[in-house]
């Protein structure tokens, strides 16, 4: 079992209430504790790199999040610590989530066991074993659940990342649209909802939302409508 760790998440967890040296010790312990929790024999840790295609395509991406330059620099130093001391890898041009998804896909293709360790709900759109670092809970997401969660996000967007979905559609309406729709048929329900609201421009609107939401299993791939 290899554990694919969201290094951005553990950097923030370690930073909370700690000076830098204490945070580094906390990071060391977190990596070991996470490995023990999923019985992993090794880890791969992804951290934020330079650039992100989502920011290039949408200026308002994550635009609602507050920014503190000094604290951000502190987190960046902890990311570098993970790179230097735990063989972390920077996700240049994309997000750490994308790199985790690409590693997970490589494991799936090779028939290797893996667990994804994070607190990010977006990663639950990837099937497999998941470990919630903050809640200390191991769960399994099958193909059906991952597909449902992705299509629900396509309908409602993601307010945490400031990604717009269909106008007027929140969680309850998205769930209503997908209610009773089986695996393999949900994308058609999503398309119909976009057609109803956007008419002839539905495809470009869905492509835009999909490219923002889709966690890339292959680097530089586009969301497939």
Both structure tokens of 138: 């191991």
Contacts of 3 (CB under 8 A, 6+ apart): 34, 35, 38, 40, 42, 43, 44, 114, 115, 116, 117, 131
Q: Please give the distance of CA 203 from its chain centroid, rounded to a whole number.
A: 24
**Reduced to 3 states, what is the DSSP secondary structure of residue 109?**
helix
Distance CA 67, CA 51 (A): 17
Strands 137-141 and 114-118: unpaired
Which whole-number Å values give the CA distances from 168 to 3, 12, 121, 135, in the listed order? 38, 33, 22, 32
H helix intervals, 125-185 = 143-156, 171-178
**Reduced to 3 states, what is the DSSP secondary structure of residue 196?**
helix
Give, rounded to a whole angstrom, the gap between the first and last alpha carbons of the chain. 33
Give the containing element (helix H, strand E) for 88. none
Q: List, for the chain, all residue ranges whose pLDDT scores fall below the cut of 70.
A: 63-67
Contacts of 135 (CB under 8 A, 6+ apart): 119
Contacts of 124 (CB under 8 A, 6+ apart): 130, 141, 145, 146, 149
Q: What is the pLDDT of residue 63?
A: 65
Strands (E), the chain: 2-6, 42-52, 89-93, 114-118, 128-132, 137-141
| Main-chain phi, psi angles of 98, to 5 degrees | -65, -45
What letter does residue 161 receive in the DSSP assignment? G
Distance CA 151, CA 44 (A): 28
Distance CA 86, CA 43 (A): 9
The per-residue b/e assignment along 204-214, b for 16 or more CB within 10 angstroms, e otherwise, is ebbeebbbbbb
Q: What is the pLDDT of residue 30?
A: 98
Q: What is the pLDDT of residue 66?
A: 58
């Amino acid at each position: 079992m290899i554990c694919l760790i969201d290094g951005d998440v553990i950097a923030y967890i370690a930073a909370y209430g700690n000076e830098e040296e204490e945070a580094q010790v906390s990071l060391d312990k977190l990596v070991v504790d996470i490995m023990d929790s999923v019985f992993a024999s090794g880890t791969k840790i992804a951290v934020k790199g330079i650039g992100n295609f989502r920011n290039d395509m949408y200026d308002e991406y994550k635009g609602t999040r507050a920014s503190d330059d000094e604290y951000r620099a502190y987190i960046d130093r902890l990311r570098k610590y993970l790179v230097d001391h735990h063989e972390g890898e920077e996700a240049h041009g994309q997000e750490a989530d994308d790199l985790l998804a690409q590693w997970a896909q490589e494991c799936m293709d090779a028939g290797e066991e893996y667990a994804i360790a994070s607190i990010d709900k977006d990663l639950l759109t990837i099937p497999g074993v998941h470990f919630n670092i903050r809640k200390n809970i191991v769960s399994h997401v099958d193909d059906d659940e991952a597909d449902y969660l992705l299509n629900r996000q396509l309908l409602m967007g993601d307010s945490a990342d400031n990604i717009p979905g269909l106008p007027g559609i929140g969680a309850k309406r998205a769930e209503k649209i997908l209610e009773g729709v089986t695996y393999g048929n949900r994308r058609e329900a999503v398309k119909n909802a976009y057609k109803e609201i956007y008419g002839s421009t539905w495809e470009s609107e869905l492509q835009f939302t999909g490219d923002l939401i889709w966690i890339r299993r292959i680097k530089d791939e586009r969301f497939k409508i």
